[in-house]
Structure 1
Amino acid sequence: MQIIMSGLIMGCIYGLAALGLVLIYKTTMVVNFAQGEMAMLTTFISFGLLTKYNFSYFVSFTGALIVSLILGAVIYAVFMNRVQAADHLNQIVITLGLFLIINGVAGLLWGHQPESFPTPFSDKVIPIGSALITRNDIFIFIFTLLLMGVLYVLFNFTKIGLAMRASAQDLTASRLMGIKVPLVFMSTWAIGTVLGSVAGMMTAPLTFLSPTMMFDILIMAFASAVLGGFVYMPGVIIGGLIIGVFGNVVSYYYSPEMKVVYTFLLIIIILYIRPQGIFGGKQTVKKV
């Protein structure tokens, strides 16, 4: 039970990071390899607000989310907007370049020594059956559910959500209907960056804060997205939960070093049986 509970908490983090990846991909067809580094950067900003300026946790959390919102919009406006119509390989190279630049800048500014990131709650554990969880674990789980609810409302009951869904289906028709596609794409990058930043600030208290803190999280986020189907958002969260529990089981009963190996072996087996992922449906590709 303890392994499962801990795996579900990590699965929430994987799912949130994957949700940002899928949101950007689903709308703009760009795979953002810099997602983890953008999250790491805003987590360092949150840490600075906490320790240097002595803001409360929730003020620092909110401030970092605002920075991440601006960061996502700026990266799209300055870099990705220029290559939106370019070949996918060019877009991937841009995001990989951003990955390296942000990681290098973070190392220069804050160094590579791991730091302990504070939690907003005490370390008091709460028994649930035979498992023990902390208040921070409960916060991660509830906040993940809350964000899923917010995204559901955003996509189904707001104009920007309708514009995002329309842009994802047909860019030409969206433009003809008066939708400002660049603004929609910028908003998508901003929201996707916020989701990644939430995952980063939830990861840091469980591990350590460092420029490399999101490497494994990004890998698992990609795995969660692929497992869930990469276009179906609830499936991405479920994929993250599956991978979180599976990785914990492998770490405990076999070896922590083999967690990633066996996780991707599981994904290969599932994709061999169901190439579109567990929740992915058939997609029709129109050739012009």
Structure 2
Amino acid sequence: MGTFIQLVVDGLSTGSVYAALALAIVLVNQATGLINFAQGGMAVLSAYFAYTGLQLGLPLLVAIVLAVVVSFFLGAAVERLLIRRFERGDPDTAIVVTIGLLTLVTGICGWLWTYNNLQFPSPFPLSTVDIFGAVVSVRSLGTTIAIIAIMVLLQLLFLRTKLGLALRAVADNPVSASFSGLPVGRLLMIGWGFAAALGAIAGSLVAPQLTLTPGMLDNALVYALAAVILGGLDSPIGAVVAAWIIGVAENLAAVYIPFIGHDLKIAVPFLLIFVILVVRPQGLFGRKVVARV
């Protein structure tokens, strides 16, 4: 039982890393209707901003806050100067643009900060606590709690605030939103800005666990996209819960299913996606969309 609990706790910790990135992907999709494949690269760039602030002698929390602010304006600028040119066209073209942006951002990070592993301090202590016989690091626990708080805030933003409802309206139908008097262009910039700021928080939470490199979130991005599909593109709660399910299922399958082991556990989330898409195409927490013909 102790081994089982330890695997579940470790899976929740790993799933929180995926959830941090998945929340930013959901935010962009809710605000613009696009899936941003460059989200991982932008989160890494934001973590490098915070790292530069540390090198200049700023306290950790101050460096992270400044990185969040800079990332907000950077995300808004990316939407205004690049993404907006493709938002009204073929969605596949916009997706290819975000993939190209990911490559560009990764290259810029490597050029400015090199490809060496850099140590990024954690905002949480490095001590451990005992939970039902499982050893849990305070850093992992703090990351999980932070992800839960962000999830709740995003859910409240989209369901309980005028700004969140306006962002959803623009993503669903920008033409109708424009006729209703909503500033569509400004709202799209705000949506990308919020997503970039959230990516900065995610990058700062994840970097201490993975070490800071330009490709730090490449693998996590795959799992984050799986979590978004599994949980539902329009549900922050779904993205987080799905990320936890993936993290726990991977760990349990690697230990308790002999033919999977640690080598094939990467197939677990994709098997889950296949099953969920057959049974519930909109995801675990997603909304079913009905189109009138």
TM-score bucket of the superposed structures, by smaller chain:
over 0.9
Residues of 2 paired with 1:165 and 1:262: CA distance?
Answer: 32
14, 17, 27: which one pairs with 1:10?
14
Q: How many percent of aligned residue pairs carry the same amino acid?
A: 34
Alignment partner, residue 206 of structure 2? 203
Shift of the 159–279 alpha-carbon distance from structure 1 to 2, 3 Å rule, reads closer
Q: Which moved more, 1:268-277 or 1:111-120?
A: 268-277
Shift of 1:286: 4.6
Q: Which residue of 2 aligns with 1:20?
A: 24
Could you say if the C-alpha distance between residues 135 and 230 of structure 1 is closer, same or farther in structure 2, counting changes exceeding 3 Å? Answer: same
- TM-score, normalization by structure 2: 0.91
Deviation at 1:218, TM superposition (A): 0.6
Task: After superposition, give the CA deviation of every residue in 1:198-220 in whole Å (9 maximum; x if it has no partner).
Answer: 22221111111111111011101
State whether residues 34 and 99 of structure 1, in contact with CA within 8 Å, keep that contact through their aligned partners in structure 2. yes
Pick aligned residue for 2:217 from 214, 218, 221:
214
| Structure 1, 115-124 or 29-38: larger mean CA deviation | 115-124
**1:248 Cα deviation (Å)?**
2.4
Alignment partner, residue 285 of structure 1: 291
2:270 is equivalent to residue 267 of structure 1: no
Q: What TM-score results when the alignment is normalised by the length of structure 1?
A: 0.93
Q: Is the 8 A contact 1:117 1:208 kept in 2?
A: yes
Which of 83, 88, 92 is residue 91 of structure 2 equivalent to?
A: 88
Structure 2 residue 161 is matched with structure 1 residue 158: yes
Write the distance in 2 (CA, Å) between the matches of 1:44 and 1:154.
Answer: 28
Alignment of 1:85-234 (within 5 A): 85-234=88-237
Tell me, in whole angstroms, the C-alpha distance in 1 between the residues paired with 2:85 and 2:284: 34
> Does structure 2 retain, via aligned residues, the 8 Å contact 1:107–1:211?
yes
Q: Supply the distance in 2 between the matched residues of 1:252 and 1:44 (Cα, whole angstroms).
A: 35
Q: CA deviation at 1:64?
A: 1.2
Q: Does 1:68 align with 2:74?
A: no
- In structure 2, relative to structure 1, the CA distance for the partners of 1:159 and 1:56 (3 Å cut) is same
CA RMSD of aligned residues (A): 1.8
**Structure 1 segment 38-77 matched on structure 2, within 5 A:** 38-50=42-54, 52-77=55-80
Q: Secondary structure at the match of 1:114?
A: coil
Q: Where does residue 41 of structure 2 map in the other structure?
A: 37
- Assess if the C-alpha contact under 8 Å between 1:250 and 1:258 holds in 2: no
Check conservation: 1:43, 1:201, Cα contact below 8 A.
Answer: yes
Poorly superposed stretches of 4+, deviation over 3 Å: 250-257
What does the per-residue CA deviation read over 1:56-80, in whole Å, with 9 as the maximum and x for residues that have no partner? 1111111111121111101101101
Gapped runs of 5+ residues in structure 2?
none
Q: Distance in 2 between matches of 1:46 and 1:192?
A: 17
Number of equivalences: 286
